[in-house]
Structure 1
Amino acid sequence: MTAPRTFFLDRDGTLNISPAPGRYVRSPDELTLLPGVAAAIRTLNRTGRRVVVVTNQRGVARGLMSLDDLAAVHERLTESLRAQGAFLDAVYACTHHEFACRCRKPQPGLLQRAMADFPDIAPGDAVMIGDTESDVGAGRAAGTRTVLLAEPGRASAADLVAADLRAAVDVLLGDVSPGGTPSRGLPPGQVRSGDVLPTSRDVLPKGERR
Structure 2
Amino acid sequence: MKAGHAEVRTFFLDRDGTLNAKPPDGRYIGHPAELILLPGAAEAVRELNAAGRRVVLVTNQRGVARGLMTGADVAAVHARLAALLREHDAFLDAVYVCPHEVGECGCRKPLPGLLTAAMRDFRDIDPADSVMIGDTESDVMAGKAAGTLTVLLQGPGKPPANTVADMVATDLRAAVGLLLTSSKSGCVSKGGFV
Unaligned runs of 5+ in 1: 178-210
Residue 176 (structure 1) shift: 5.9
Pick from 114, 121, 131 the counterpart of residue 117 of structure 1. Answer: 121
Residue 116 (structure 1) shift: 0.2
Pick from 143, 163, 175 the counterpart of residue 156 of structure 1. Answer: 163
For residues 159 and 49 of structure 2, the distance between their equivalents in structure 1, rounded to whole angstroms, comes to 26
TM-score, normalised on structure 2? 0.89
Q: Does 2:102 align with 1:98?
A: yes
Paired position in structure 2 for 1:72: 76
For residues 162 and 61 of structure 1, the distance between their equivalents in structure 2, rounded to whole angstroms, comes to 31
Paired position in structure 1 for 2:13: 9
Pick from 80, 89, 98 the counterpart of residue 85 of structure 1. Answer: 89
For residues 96 and 148 of structure 1, the distance between their equivalents in structure 2, rounded to whole angstroms, comes to 23
TM-score, normalised on structure 1? 0.82
> Which amino acid counterpart does residue 181 of structure 2 have in structure 1?
G
Residue 129 (structure 1) shift: 0.1
CA RMSD, Structure 1 to Structure 2 (Å): 1.1
> Which amino acid counterpart does residue 17 of structure 1 have in structure 2?
A
Q: Does 2:54 align with 1:50?
A: yes
Deviations 1:132-177 (A, max 9, x none): 0000000000000000001342221000000000000011111667
> Which amino acid counterpart does residue 144 of structure 1 have in structure 2?
T
Pick from 171, 175, 179 the counterpart of residue 168 of structure 1. Answer: 175
The answer to which structure has the higher helix fraction is 2
Residue 82 (structure 1) shift: 0.5
Asked whether the 8 Å contact 2:8–2:183 carries over to 1, the reply is: no
For residues 111 and 17 of structure 2, the distance between their equivalents in structure 1, rounded to whole angstroms, comes to 19
For residues 85 and 182 of structure 2, the distance between their equivalents in structure 1, rounded to whole angstroms, comes to 24
Paired position in structure 2 for 1:186: none
- Runs of 4+ aligned structure 1 residues displaced above 6 Å come to none
- Alignment identity in percent? 64
For residues 114 and 133 of structure 1, the distance between their equivalents in structure 2, rounded to whole angstroms, comes to 20
Asked whether the 8 Å contact 1:47–1:176 carries over to 2, the reply is: no
For residues 160 and 22 of structure 2, the distance between their equivalents in structure 1, rounded to whole angstroms, comes to 22
